[in-house]
């Protein structure tokens, strides 16, 4: 896909992706997330993401929310371990309005005390709601095992204690320390010339003060193997299996993405879904995941089942892992897996807002954006021997931690 990059003297970059459509999409990605918090700041990045919609130097909450919604646009935001993202979808005439609003809420929010207290209540309710969903909460608890003692293991939402303790100075210090202008990308996908996009972008972002501090991220150590069962007041058992995995920059990243998709990624025809759910009818819900990060990653398999079926389901999963390790994929099997993965990626291009966010992240992570052809070539270049090496390292049950939420009684 055609794209252009324009960099301001302060380091902020514009990613321009032309698209002949009446609908436009834009986002601002900041390379800062929950892993950049200290332990006492837990939940701060997410808290800031909430508060930027509350009041700026010239707008109140209603004016912020209505600025785009009044013209039928959609505005939203989210926080991850490594990013903060604000994104919008809107009709073609409203690019100026959108980029101006991004500028206002990200760089001119005032974080008033009354709004902070109200939003703490909202987030505390969010934390309580999350804890009531064991199929969600187990992911965070498992990350805390895999990244033990590291900020990557802490819940993005924070804790009741840490959120209650957050103050205005924490917000100002965090933004100053982590909102590096050379790690901020504003991305625009729509029917605009490069010159028009650059003109609007420059109008709102060239005066932002330069902040080029080096990130101070520290990679996590390998955590010791943990096998743990926690009794919970729940009806169904939930289990996570996994370990630390390859980073965004590891040469085996593409191979593990492919292996994960083959195991239990998108679709119903994955190995684990066919074996655990369809053949044996043991687990209604089963999925695998691989999330590469800037200096590490995490591979997981999750399943939910009746308490008395947990051990058998886990044994069957390990059986499939062993088969893949001891009997590597044939060229034909690997090509089928590649064809499926490539087709899913191609279809995913239809999600325009997801596409522009993904491209902006790629620009931050790699300082480049690979074309679809390049992505497909990397998948095609994965060999059976590479897949065997990845499987032998990642799917060794002796290297996998296990966390189970088990019903009481």
Are 178 and 32 in contact, with CB atoms under 8 Å apart? Answer: yes
Residue range 113-171, pLDDT digits in tens: 999 999 999 999 999 998 889 999 999 999 999 999 999 999 999 999 999 999 999 99
**pLDDT bucket at 265, cuts 50 / 70 / 90:** confident
Residue 269 pLDDT: 86
| Spatial distance between the Cα atoms of 231 and 114, rounded to a whole number of angstroms | 39
- Which of these, 150, 133, 148, lies nearest to 405 by C-alpha position? 133
- Report the SS3 class of residue 398: helix
Residue 214 pLDDT: 76
Q: What is the mean pLDDT of residues 386-402?
A: 97
Residue 267 pLDDT: 78
Residues contacting 136, CB < 8 A, separation 6+: 130
Residues contacting 331, CB < 8 A, separation 6+: 384
**pLDDT greater than 80 at residue 300:** yes
**pLDDT greater than 80 at residue 398:** yes
Residue 131 pLDDT: 81
Backbone angles phi, psi at 85, to 5 degrees: -130, 130
Residue 5 has, within 13 A of its CA and on its CB side, a CA count of 16
Residue 368, exposed/middle/buried by CB under 10 A (0-12, 13-18, 19+)? exposed
Backbone angles phi, psi at 386, to 5 degrees: -65, -45
Residue range 302-355, pLDDT digits in tens: 999 999 999 999 999 999 999 999 999 999 999 999 999 999 999 998 899 999
**pLDDT greater than 80 at residue 400:** yes
- Hey, what domains does the chain have and what are their CATH numbers? 4-205 (3.30.830.10), 227-407 (3.30.830.10)
Residue 223 pLDDT: 86
Residue range 33-62, pLDDT digits in tens: 999 999 999 999 999 999 999 999 999 999
| Spatial distance between the Cα atoms of 146 and 227, rounded to a whole number of angstroms | 11
**pLDDT greater than 80 at residue 14:** yes
**pLDDT greater than 80 at residue 409:** no
Instruction: Name the strands in the sheet holding 401-407, side by side, starting at the edge strand that comes first in the sequence.
Output: 227-232, 401-407, 237-245, 297-305, 285-292
Q: What is the mean pLDDT of residues 85-97?
A: 98
The residues pairing with 244 across neighbouring beta strands, listed in sequence order, are: 298
Residue 77 pLDDT: 98
Are 353 and 89 in contact, with CB atoms under 8 Å apart? Answer: yes
Residue 182 pLDDT: 96
The neighbour count for residue 244, using CB atoms within 10 Å, is 21
The mean pLDDT value of the chain amounts to 95
**pLDDT bucket at 24, cuts 50 / 70 / 90:** very high
Share of the chain above pLDDT 90, in %: 92
Residue range 183-242, pLDDT digits in tens: 999 999 999 999 999 999 999 999 999 999 877 899 999 989 999 999 999 999 999 999
**Tokens of residue 127, six digits:** 């934390």
**pLDDT greater than 90 at residue 280:** no
């Amino acid at each position: 896909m055609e794209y252009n990059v324009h960099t301001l003297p302060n380091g902020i970059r514009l990613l321009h992706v032309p698209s002949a459509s009446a609908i436009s999409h834009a986002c601002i990605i900041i390379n800062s997330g929950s892993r950049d918090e200290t332990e006492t700041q837990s939940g701060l990045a997410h808290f800031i993401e909430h508060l930027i919609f509350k009041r700026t130097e010239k707008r109140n909450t209603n004016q912020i929310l209505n600025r785009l919604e009044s013209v039928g646009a959609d505005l939203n935001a989210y926080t991850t371990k490594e990013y903060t993202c604000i994104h919008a979808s809107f009709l073609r005439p409203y690019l100026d309005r959108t980029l101006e609003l991004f500028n206002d809420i990200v760089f001119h929010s005032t974080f008033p005390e009354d709004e902070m207290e109200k939003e703490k209540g909202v987030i505390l309710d969010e934390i309580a709601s999350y804890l009531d969903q064991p199929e969600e909460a187990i992911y965070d608890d498992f990350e805390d095992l895999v990244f033990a003692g590291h900020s990557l293991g802490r819940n993005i939402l924070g804790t009741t204690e840490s959120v209650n303790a957050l103050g205005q100075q924490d917000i100002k210090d965090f933004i100053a320390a982590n909102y590096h202008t050379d790690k901020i990308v504003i991305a625009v996908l729509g029917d605009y010339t490069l010159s028009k996009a650059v003109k609007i972008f420059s109008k709102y972002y060239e005066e932002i003060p330069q902040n080029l501090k080096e990130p101070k991220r520290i990679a996590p150590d390998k955590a010791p193997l943990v096998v743990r069962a926690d009794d919970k007041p729940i009806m169904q058992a939930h289990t996570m299996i996994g370990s630390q995995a390859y980073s965004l920059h590891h040469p085996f990243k593409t191979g593990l993405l492919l292996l994960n998709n083959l195991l239990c990624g998108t679709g119903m025809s994955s190995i684990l879904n066919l074996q655990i759910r369809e053949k044996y009818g043991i687990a209604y819900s089963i999925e695998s995941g691989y999330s590469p990060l800037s200096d590490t990653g995490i591979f997981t398999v999750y399943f939910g089942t009746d308490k008395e079926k947990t051990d058998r389901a886990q044994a069957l999963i390990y059986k499939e892992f062993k088969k893949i390790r001891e009997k590597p994929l044939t060229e034909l099997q690997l090509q089928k897996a590649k064809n499926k993965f490539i087709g899913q990626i191609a279809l995913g291009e239809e999600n325009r807002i997801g596409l522009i966010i993904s491209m902006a992240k790629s620009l931050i992570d790699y300082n480049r954006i690979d074309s679809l052809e390049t992505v497909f070539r990397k998948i095609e270049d994965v060999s059976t021997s590479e897949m065997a090496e990845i499987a032998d390292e990642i799917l060794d049950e002796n290297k996998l931690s296990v966390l189970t939420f088990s019903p009481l009684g």
